[in-house]
Structure 1
Amino acid sequence: MPRNKKKNRGGQHGAVQPFSDEDASIETLSHCSSFSDATSVADEGGETNEDSAQQDFQYKLKGFIDSTVDKSAKTRQGALDGLKTAMATRILYEFISERRMTITDSIERCLKKGKGEEQRAAASLACLLCIQLGSGIESEEVFKTLKPIFKNILADGSANIQARQAVATSLGLCTLVAEDDILDVQATMECFENLFTRSYAKADGTCPSISPQMSQLHTNSLRSWALLLTICSSSQLKDILQKHLLKLQRLLESDDVNMRIAAGETIALLFELARDIDSDFEFDGWDELCDKLNALATDCNKHRAKTDKRKQRSVFRDVLKAVEEGAFQSETIRFGTERMNIDSWVRKRTYDAFREFVGSGMNYHLQANEFIRDVFELGPPMLVDSATMKAMKISRFERHLHNSAAFKARTKARSKFRDKRVDVGEF
């Protein structure tokens, strides 16, 4: 995965309302000609309206930034959520770059003095800020300020468990984006190891008694640890394989389905990385591991929920193929006029990590965010004007008509089939 250091080119005090989906959608894709500031690409007739909408949008963002220091926790929470939504759905490099220290100070204050949900929102905003700034000096400075606070919260057993869960996820992606020292990457991975290894089954096969919330913390830590595996050197990976591959199997016996799945996907990722280093890679416990994976891929234990079993079986069928055959179930992601193949466990872990923060804005970031495009080796952003984008999008009404026609066709086909069954029954 490339780690080139490059930049993206991408108020009022008092209570403010959270940034809404409606606000987020205002001409979002009409700014694709620059992918940095949201410059207008409309014709002369619509230029004034676009400029006005952009000014209103930035005015609202400034209000959010001001409100992150409000005395009211509810107002601060709304401001953080508003900034999160904006950064997930727009490329705001110039606007954010000019105010990054102010935003960083606000995140630091909310992490230190906030509670639960406010800390969660601040941790997520830190990640989105790094994604907007890209891999370079600016995001490194942001992360240098926030990393000690993240690690303190993560290691503090008395800290709010929701805050620790959020930090476990944010610390992983921020490290991927903004950490420049591989030794510091290793130190962060050890912080994660100190948590998820507590979920290891004991030597006698019994699982430790862990609350669901603590198990979620361990799962988030494992996923972030796996994300950082994708940027480890060959020598580091060899040490990790020797130290952890055998022990990770103990997590497959966890009572938490999410932990079992995270462990399975991490094992598949490790096998893929190991075979990249050495195509003849062999694992002493291969037969035992395959037996465990096969049991999870065909699990029919009655004490487990049906949805959990269905989800687990689907994942572990793919994990088993990865371990036995080195195979991966490829997936195609379409965005704008482009498409990208998720064709490896490395790519999947990286894509899932970014999507967790960007959410529904992932396709837009794949199209417009220079840093994310660099990570996935997509090349420079393609310049697409708003008229082309609008022509490409299917309106909600057209989708409704299409779905209605498909539903009627299915109903008609099924009715004919039912009629045939009735006819057969009468004879």
Structure 2
Amino acid sequence: MHDLRRQALESGKTVSRKARSKQASAASSRASSRANSAANSRVPSRAASRQASDEEDGNLSDGTAWSTNSIDDVLASDDVDSPSDVWRTELGDRMEQIIDRKRSSNQGREESLRAYVHLLTAHYAKEDIENKIGELVPAILKSVKSETSEKETASALKALAITVITEPSEDIYEMALHQLKRTISDSESMLAKTAAIHALGTVTFYGGTSVEETQEIMDFFLEIVESDGHSIGAGDEVDVVTASIEEWGFLATQIEDMEDATEPAMEAFVEQLDSSDATVQIAAGENIALLYEKSYTELEEDEDPPSDVEDIDEEESISGPKMVKRYNVYRQEWQLKHTLEELAKVSSRTISKKDKKTLHSNFRDILNSVENPTRGPRYQKAVDKETGRHYGSRMTFRIHHGGEMKIDRWWKLHRLQGLRRILQGGFIVHYEHNEVILDSLPYGLPII
């Protein structure tokens, strides 16, 4: 299984220019009631923008955080700190209820799936579920396929995502692929489409897929973006388009050579910068920054430096490996920079004060990385008097026991955001105990 993990890790309404021219049975025990109450708290299908205040999250510094809404209260409830035999017994009961569909009602399955998601988020339960995967996943997929209710379907899709993060298996990808794509394309529920897109991104990332399979899923997401959601019957739906952009970026962090995929992707994401929705614009901008970052790689030991000095990042090379530009990212870069500059200082009265602040903060970062692709998010140009060098990226993610991780590359931010979309308030629990998460964001991991 460790080899499988390594294989995976190494390798509203949005209106764009194109679119302008065209929404319980009672618990049987105190422990069950507690889990149901917690599980029924509202958990959004995607994380909020990364600009929320520090007070909302407490994990990211430099004014950079996510709002986790009710999930942090859920994870602070007394069942999280209860003896392991209590929550393990509850988890075992919930798994049996999910598997034994003949004796369950729609409402009962929805409650069991919600409780299952809650328990796997709050605890690292690999040993508890690994022998049940063969029964659990087919049962979860039946809830996705039947679409008896929107809530049951969405809960099942979240259950699938947290399951593969807890116990990665290429079998899950093979079992789930057809149904996930079918839900994305055919479901009439925008909530189900959005949850299925996030689930497909997670299953692809952690399912031991090949580079070719990953690229096929990225192409599928890109088609949704290019059509503003129309290709799957979700025309101009903000959540659907945003989810497709986010999951494309999440998967792109696994691909070492993005040169061939860059041109069509840039066209799609630049187009989305004209969206009327700030979340779409920011997601597209962050993917643009990622693509620029990937256009630079380390100079190989047996490789001669390029003759054009502009193709070498001299500042980055002073304290680290020599970073070399490999290809041009976008033909109309001057026009792109102009668009990013406008978004970094947008002042339209039709945009809320909160969205303006969010756009200004994000697009200053994105523009800086387009101009200097080896500079990550929250890069500060101020000079340290002691070293004489720029302070560099000041974004850090605080973890328990006084530790912190520096988020100095866009690929790190994409992975952190992707994991937080699924794990939300349980991220720290999994970061400390789940090898899969540590492999995704280890200390000192080289640039991909």
Greater alpha carbon shift after TM alignment, 78-87 vs 269-278: 269-278
Among 400, 403, 418, the alignment partner of 1:336 is 400
Give the structure 1 partner of residue 194 of structure 2.
165
Q: Displacement of 1:276 after TM fit? A: 2.7
C-alpha separation between the residues in 2 aligned to 1:304 and 1:334?
32
1:151 aligns with 2:150: no
The SS at the match of 1:199 is coil
C-alpha separation between the residues in 1 aligned to 2:37 and 2:204?
27
Q: Displacement of 1:302 after TM fit? A: 1.0
Greater alpha carbon shift after TM alignment, 347-356 vs 147-156: 147-156
Q: Displacement of 1:222 after TM fit? A: 1.2
Residues 150 and 192, structure 2, Cα contact 8 Å, conserved in 1: yes
Among 327, 341, 348, the alignment partner of 1:301 is 348
Give the structure 1 partner of residue 228 of structure 2.
199
CA root-mean-square deviation: 2.6
Q: Per-residue displacement from partner, 1:10-49 (whole Å, max 9, x unpaired)?
A: xxx98654163678755857xxxxxxxxxxxxxxxxxxxx
Count of matched residue positions in the alignment of Structure 1 and Structure 2: 334
Computing the radius of gyration from Cα coordinates, the structure with the larger value is 1
Q: Per-residue displacement from partner, 1:77-116 (whole Å, max 9, x unpaired)?
A: 1111111111111111111112112221221111011321
The SS at the match of 1:340 is strand
Among 235, 252, 262, the alignment partner of 1:241 is 262
Give the structure 2 partner of residue 186 of structure 1.
215
C-alpha separation between the residues in 2 aligned to 1:62 and 1:349?
33
* Residues 1:19 and 1:63: Cα distance change in structure 2 (over 3 Å): farther
Q: Displacement of 1:301 after TM fit? A: 0.8
Give the structure 1 partner of residue 87 of structure 2.
57
Equivalent position amino acid for 2:191 in 1: Q
Residues 5 and 208, structure 2, Cα contact 8 Å, conserved in 1: no
C-alpha separation between the residues in 2 aligned to 1:101 and 1:378?
34
Q: Per-residue displacement from partner, 1:311-354 (whole Å, max 9, x unpaired)?
A: 11111111111111232223212222232111111000001000
Residues 19 and 85, structure 1, Cα contact 8 Å, conserved in 2: no
Residues 165 and 206, structure 2, Cα contact 8 Å, conserved in 1: yes
Q: Per-residue displacement from partner, 1:134-168 (whole Å, max 9, x unpaired)?
A: 3xxxx211221111100111122x53221011111
Give the structure 2 partner of residue 109 of structure 1.
142
Unpaired segments ≥5 residues, structure 1: 8-12, 30-49, 201-208, 380-427
The SS at the match of 2:397 is strand
Residues 234 and 240, structure 2, Cα contact 8 Å, conserved in 1: no
Q: Per-residue displacement from partner, 1:48-100 (whole Å, max 9, x unpaired)?
A: xx8xx332222211221233335422221111111111111111111111211
Give the structure 1 partner of residue 128 of structure 2.
95
Give the TM-score normalised by the residue count of structure 1. Answer: 0.72
Residues 190 and 234, structure 2, Cα contact 8 Å, conserved in 1: no
Equivalent position amino acid for 1:121 in 2: S
Among 270, 288, 303, the alignment partner of 2:291 is 270
The SS at the match of 1:291 is helix
Give the TM-score normalised by the residue count of structure 2. Answer: 0.69
C-alpha separation between the residues in 2 aligned to 1:293 and 1:23?
38
The SS at the match of 1:191 is helix
Give the structure 2 partner of residue 348 of structure 1.
413
C-alpha separation between the residues in 2 aligned to 1:280 and 1:130?
35
Residues 75 and 426, structure 2, Cα contact 8 Å, conserved in 1: no
1:318 aligns with 2:365: yes
1:5 aligns with 2:4: yes
Give the structure 2 partner of residue 252 of structure 1.
273
* Residues 1:254 and 1:27: Cα distance change in structure 2 (over 3 Å): closer
Residues 154 and 164, structure 1, Cα contact 8 Å, conserved in 2: yes
Give the structure 2 partner of residue 422 of structure 1.
none
Select the structure that is richer in helix: 1
C-alpha separation between the residues in 1 aligned to 2:208 and 2:4?
11
Give the structure 2 partner of residue 385 of structure 1.
none
Unpaired segments ≥5 residues, structure 2: 7-25, 39-72, 299-323, 379-392
C-alpha separation between the residues in 1 aligned to 2:85 and 2:225?
46
Greater alpha carbon shift after TM alignment, 352-361 vs 178-187: 178-187
The SS at the match of 2:350 is coil
C-alpha separation between the residues in 2 aligned to 1:112 and 1:345?
35
Equivalent position amino acid for 2:124 in 1: I
Following superposition of structure 1 onto structure 2, how do residues 4-43 of structure 1 map, counting pairs within 5 Å?
A: 4-6=3-5, 16-17=32-33, 18=36, 20=38
* Residues 1:264 and 1:172: Cα distance change in structure 2 (over 3 Å): same
Following superposition of structure 1 onto structure 2, how do residues 120-131 of structure 1 map, counting pairs within 5 Å?
A: 120-131=154-165
1:374 aligns with 2:407: no
Residues 6 and 371, structure 1, Cα contact 8 Å, conserved in 2: yes
1:119 aligns with 2:153: yes
Residues 75 and 425, structure 2, Cα contact 8 Å, conserved in 1: no
Residues 270 and 336, structure 2, Cα contact 8 Å, conserved in 1: yes
Q: Per-residue displacement from partner, 1:217-236 (whole Å, max 9, x unpaired)?
A: 111111111111111131xx
C-alpha separation between the residues in 2 aligned to 1:211 and 1:305?
24
C-alpha separation between the residues in 2 aligned to 1:57 and 1:244?
44
Q: Displacement of 1:180 after TM fit? A: 2.3
Residues 271 and 323, structure 1, Cα contact 8 Å, conserved in 2: yes
Among 110, 128, 145, the alignment partner of 1:77 is 110
C-alpha separation between the residues in 2 aligned to 1:104 and 1:111?
10
Residues 222 and 265, structure 2, Cα contact 8 Å, conserved in 1: no
Q: Per-residue displacement from partner, 1:249-269 (whole Å, max 9, x unpaired)?
A: 111001121111111111011
Give the structure 1 partner of residue 311 of structure 2.
none
Q: Per-residue displacement from partner, 1:355-390 (whole Å, max 9, x unpaired)?
A: 1111111112111111111121249xxxxxxxxxxx
* Residues 1:133 and 1:346: Cα distance change in structure 2 (over 3 Å): same
* Residues 1:6 and 1:172: Cα distance change in structure 2 (over 3 Å): closer
